[in-house]
Structure 1
Amino acid sequence: MVTGAGPHETTDDSLADDSSPDSSPDSAVERAETGAGVGKYVCFRLRGQELAVAIEAVKETLAVPPLTRVFLTPPCFAGIINLRGDIVAVLDLAWLLGLGATAVSEATRVVICRGRDRDGDGPGRLEAGVLVDALTELRSFDRAGIAPAPPTLTAAGAGLLAGLATADDGTPLQVLDVDRLLGSEQVRVFQREAH
């Protein structure tokens, strides 16, 4: 149940990028797609590794609310949540990356991500939450410095990443591609079943 963006399209002020004159979601995604310049990334831990997602693809982050498991859904779906009246699917990112199911703790967070639908009708069409072990910080790095994923990663993991980057402080980061995540076969199969 990866949902379309609802009427409550808000971004946590701590994640908003108001540094440019045109900070609409459409222009932000267009800037991210050019691959040029320094981008801001929401970073998080997952199984001892640090991952990053472009801030333009993040609607908000939140503590894990009560998850409702949906009967006969694949294990990559942790459940659904009610987000201010919108039903949002929550994906288990660790499971999708081949790292096993996520055990929810006090530090676990849900990152609500926005991506394109599989028909490519534009940004913000699909929305889903992803479970992460813990948030770390907002980091900046040059988008041009994102290197391809190494061949040592599993096919499942490499298929969901835009590549690898190094933060200004030298921290290695795996950069998640939200469009690939929401368009992955495991998620698309569920989208077809939901219609």
Structure 2
Amino acid sequence: MAITERTVPSHTGVASHTVASHTVASHTGRATLADAQRMAAEGEGLIPGGDGRPSRKFLRVRIGKTPLALPLEGVREVLPCPPRTRLYRLDAIVVGLCAVRGDIVAILDLDPVAPLETTDRANAPWLAVLHEGERTCGILAHEMMGIATVEAGAIAPLVSAGGEAEAYLEGALPADGPLPPMGILRVGAWMGQARVRRLAGEEVSG
């Protein structure tokens, strides 16, 4: 896959990004997704920008018809979607199970944040593995739209998403050229909901 890089004008609040997956523009050239994840994790999601001001890194994806930004500190890895098994006795939130580096990962449906049709689930080429503390899960994605570095103050407040989705979105990235504004997934809130914690074997009251 060809890697194309471009610098986004500073007034958008986005420092730089690539339009292909797994590579991010940096001051020293190209860095892998793993490098970007490490930098984000070391700064708990906030890293110095080119001018020293705090910034955050996000992986921009498309899930079905919905563009979504994933905080990079919550992304363990991204890989071509491996074969998956559907177990119908599990909670309906579970799209399937797959093996990733010897671990069994539950693939979760992001509805109501990014609803998918049945055909969308079958055709998704990417798996993003998310983590929060000891919890890990996968989500399906149809397109990787690059990594964005955004000044912390440039993240827009969330315009009402309506219904349950608002609990799982923390704000929005601004539009960037051909890319539309997109909500930011609140990974901790999504993975902290009771039904996900039960899947992880945690005791949940109520």
1:137 to 125, 138, 146: 146
* Matching residue of 2:46: 31
2:106 partner amino acid:
A
Larger Rg: 2
Q: 1:16 aligns with which of 21, 34, 39?
A: 34
For 1:75, the equivalent position in structure 2 comes to 92
Q: Residues of 2 paired with 1:52 and 1:138: CA distance?
A: 9
* Alpha-carbon distance between aligned partners in 1 of 2:36 and 2:71, rounded to the nearest angstrom: 15
Q: Which has the higher strand share?
A: 2
Letter in 2 for 1:97: V
Q: Distance in 1 between matches of 2:87 and 2:117?
A: 16
Instruction: Find the partner of 1:65 among 65, 77, 82.
Output: 82
Shift of 1:97: 2.3
Question: Deviations 1:59-85 (Å, cap 9, x if unpaired)?
Answer: 111111111122421222111111111
Q: Using the TM superposition, name which of 42-51 and 96-105 deviates more.
A: 96-105
What do you get for the CA RMSD once the two structures are aligned?
3.1
Q: 1:126 & 1:29 partners in 2: Cα distance?
A: 17
- Per-residue Cα deviation, 1:87-108 (whole angstroms, up to 9, x for no partner): 1111122x34262445235553
Identity %: 25
Select which of 86, 109, 115 maps to 1:99: 115
Q: Give the unaligned 5+ runs of structure 1.
A: 1-10, 117-124
Aligned to 2:102: 85
Q: Deviations over 1:22-51 (max 9, x none)?
A: 8483x232637xxx7222211111233321
Cα distance in structure 2, aligned partners of 1:97 and 1:58: 17
Question: CA separation in 1, counterparts of 2:71 and 2:55?
Answer: 11
- Does the aligned pair in 1 maintain the 2:156–2:174 contact within 8 Å? no
Q: TM-score, normalised by structure 2?
A: 0.68
Structure 2 gap ranges (5+): 1-21, 24-30, 48-52
Normalising by structure 1, we get a TM-score of 0.72
Q: Match of 1:185? A: 194
Which letter does structure 1 place at the counterpart of 2:32?
S
SS at match of 2:34: coil
Is this contact kept in 2: 1:79–1:89, CA < 8 A? yes
CA–CA separation in structure 2 for the residues paired with 1:139 and 1:91: 24
